[in-house]
């Protein structure tokens, strides 16, 4: 039995008209002789009634009285509603379908509510269902822990559900249907002329995703990569196949940019840069600071350590908490608010001189100060002021001619 997994994001199942496009894609896959496992996200975006953020607005999270366990219980409802509505419409279109929750589809997770990790998959039930129906619609983003509690996989986690099912079922491929026509050279909401990439490697897309390109969840990419199942990122309302994510870009017609230096640019906004300098009153103790951050569940990033100080970034909403912690430790931290981190990702930059020079030069010409930078062999990061983010990303996109083929 050939199985393919087709995942439809929130905007792809929000309205009946969009769901008709989704059903057309499923029909195409069925006509090609496949069985389909369709993973769905909660319907629409807030303020639409069953969207994840709308459900979330019903409780005062994280300040209210509910626990993380109850948060997961509430948020899981969005995907369940979506799965039943979608399966019902498939049946109305003459397609033999049924709906399953994440737990029923075999997602067994740990008990880390709001950010649960998949421990194992038990897809026996799902395989049995596929013997009698053509499409199983699975509620994305959720699983069940060993106590039978509903868990969720972190925001954007329906991609992860799709990839985990694709891997467990040995699917031919995983289609991620969304509101853009593929993975682009930058977020199209920031760069208007961002180009759709035809083929990208798992590593490159994983890097882009970790650096903020939310078009596909990084965990989903990892799971698909381990199982060697290709991903296609595609538009729900269009026909063409969008971006193919695979392990190696072969010299085929699909190779769109030979020897490209930079594959794409991603960004993360809403960061604060923290700087702590050693003083007579409080000589710097690097490990004490990082231990304190970890103990308080604060993720730190973009870390620069010198003998006399530390520079790092935190999500902006942690700023007050971090200030309190550091003041209690007698440090006098300095905060640079409203920063954004830009990542230029590309396997082609390895060993090529001049990439950093182009970045520094083009940003300087646009009057954008670099607050911090770092690099690895496939990624260069710069931190800029958030209000210069759009100009900075567009400048860099142009400097590397990413809009051109």
Selection from ligand ASP, Mg ion, ligand ADP, none that 11 binds (CB < 5 to 8 A by kind) is: ligand ADP
Q: Residues 6 or more apart from 378 whose CB is under 8 A from it?
A: 203, 204, 207, 345, 346, 347, 349, 350
Among candidates 239, 258, 241, 244, which has minimal Cα distance to 216? 244
Selection from Mg ion, ligand ADP, ligand ASP, none that 89 binds (CB < 5 to 8 A by kind) is: none
- CB-count burial class (<10 Å; 0-12, 13-18, 19+) for 250: exposed
Using the rule CB under 6 A, is 50 a contact of ligand ASP? no
Q: Is 178 annotated as a binding residue?
A: yes
**Gap between the Cα atoms of 247 and 7, Å rounded:** 21
Q: Is 239 annotated as a binding residue?
A: no
How near is the Cβ of 327 to ligand ADP at its closest, in Å? 36
* Cβ(138)–Cβ(102) below 8 Å: yes
Q: Is 302 annotated as a binding residue?
A: no
Of the candidate spans 75-83, 122-130, 149-157, 184-192, the one that interacts with Mg ion by CB under 5 A turns out to be 149-157
Using the rule CB under 6 A, is 188 a contact of ligand ADP? yes
Q: Is 184 annotated as a binding residue?
A: no
* Cβ(109)–Cβ(153) below 8 Å: yes
Q: Residues 6 or more apart from 72 whose CB is under 8 A from it?
A: 113, 114, 116, 142, 149, 150, 151, 152
Nearer to ligand ASP, 54 or 93 (CB): 54
DSSP 330-391: T---EEEEEEEEEEEE-GGGTT-TTHHHHHHHHHHHTT----EEEE-SSEEEEEEEGGGHHH
How near is the Cβ of 271 to ligand ADP at its closest, in Å? 17
Out of 44, 102, 106, 156, name the contact with ligand ASP by CB under 6 A: 156
Q: Is 214 annotated as a binding residue?
A: yes
How near is the Cβ of 118 to ligand ADP at its closest, in Å? 18
Using the rule CB under 6 A, is 42 a contact of ligand ASP? yes
Say how far residue 111 (Cα) sits from the centre of its chain.
Answer: 21
Using the rule CB under 6 A, is 41 a contact of ligand ASP? yes
Using the rule CB under 6 A, is 158 a contact of ligand ASP? yes
x-marked contacts with ligand ADP along 246-285 as a string, rule CB under 6 A: ------------------x---------------------
**Gap between the Cα atoms of 333 and 282, Å rounded:** 11
Coil, strand or helix: which one is 239? coil
Using the rule CB under 5 A, is 156 a contact of Mg ion? yes
x-marked contacts with Mg ion along 169-198 as a string, rule CB under 5 A: ------------------------------
Out of 22, 75, 171, 183, name the contact with ligand ADP by CB under 6 A: 183
Which secondary structure element, helix H or strand E, spans residue 268, and what is its range?
strand 264-277
Say how far residue 120 (Cα) sits from the centre of its chain.
Answer: 21
Out of 187, 229, 257, 343, name the contact with ligand ADP by CB under 6 A: 187
Of the candidate spans 50-58, 212-220, 284-292, 357-365, the one that interacts with ligand ADP by CB under 6 A turns out to be 212-220
Q: How far is CA 27 from CA 96, 214, 246, in A?
A: 11, 27, 25
Nearer to Mg ion, 156 or 218 (CB): 156
How near is the Cβ of 10 to ligand ASP at its closest, in Å? 5
Which secondary structure element, helix H or strand E, spans residue 233, and what is its range?
strand 231-235
Size of the chain in residues: 405
Q: Is 179 annotated as a binding residue?
A: yes
The alpha carbon dihedral of 74, 78, 83, 89 has a sign of positive
Binding site as annotated, residues for substrate: 52, 79
Binding site as annotated, residues: 7-10, 52, 79, 178-179, 189, 214-215
Name the residues that contact Mg ion, by CB under 5 A: 156
Name the residues that contact ligand ASP, by CB under 6 A: 9-10, 41-42, 52, 78, 140-141, 155-159
Name the residues that contact ligand ADP, by CB under 6 A: 9-12, 41, 156, 178-180, 183-184, 186-189, 213-215, 264
């Amino acid at each position: 039995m050939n199985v393919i997994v087709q995942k439809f994001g929130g905007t792809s199942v929000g309205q009946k008209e969009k769901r008709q496009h989704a059903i057309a894609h499923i029909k195409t896959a069925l006509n090609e002789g496949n069985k389909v496992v369709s993973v769905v996200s909660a319907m629409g975006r807030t303020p639409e009634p069953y969207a994840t953020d709308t459900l979330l607005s019903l409780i005062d999270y994280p300040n209210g009285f509910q626990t993380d366990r109850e948060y997961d219980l509430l948020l899981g409802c969005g995907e369940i509603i979506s799965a039943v509505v979608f399966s019902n419409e498939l049946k109305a279109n003459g397609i033999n379908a049924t709906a399953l929750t994440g737990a029923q589809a075999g997602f067994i997770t740990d008990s880390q509510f709001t950010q649960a990790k998949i421990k194992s998959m038990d897809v026996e039930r799902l395989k049995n269902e596929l013997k009698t129906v053509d499409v199983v619609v699975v509620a994305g983003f959720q699983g069940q822990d060993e106590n039978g509690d509903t868990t969720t996989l972190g925001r954007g986690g329906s991609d992860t559900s799709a990839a985990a099912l694709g891997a467990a079922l040995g699917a031919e491929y995983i289609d991620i249907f969304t509101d853009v026509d593929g993975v682009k050279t930058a977020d199209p909401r920031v760069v208007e002329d961002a180009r759709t990439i035809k083929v990208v490697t798992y590593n490159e897309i994983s890097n882009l995703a970790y650096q903020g390109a939310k078009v596909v969840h990084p965990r989903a990419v990892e799971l698909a990569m381990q199982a060697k199942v290709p991903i296609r990122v595609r538009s729900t309302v269009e026909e063409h196949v969008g971006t193919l994510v695979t392990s190696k870009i072969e010299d085929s017609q699909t190779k769109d940019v030979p020897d490209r230096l930079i594959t794409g640019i991603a960004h993360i906004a809403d960061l604060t840069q923290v700087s702590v300098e050693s003083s007579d009153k409080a000589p710097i103790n690097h490990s004490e600071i990082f231990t304190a951050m970890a103990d308080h569940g604060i993720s730190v990033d973009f870390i620069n350590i010198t003998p006399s100080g530390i520079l790092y970034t935190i999500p902006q909403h942690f700023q007050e908490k971090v200030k309190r912690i550091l003041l209690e430790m007698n440090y006098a931290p300095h905060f640079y608010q409203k920063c954004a981190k830009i990542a230029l990702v590309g396997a082609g930059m390895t060993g090529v001189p001049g990439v950093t020079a182009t970045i520094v030069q083009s940003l300087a010409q646009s009057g954008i100060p670099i607050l911090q930078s770092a690099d690895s062999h496939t990624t260069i990061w710069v931190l800029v002021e958030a209000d210069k983010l759009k100009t900075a990303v567009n400048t860099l996109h142009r400097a590397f001619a990413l809009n051109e083929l």
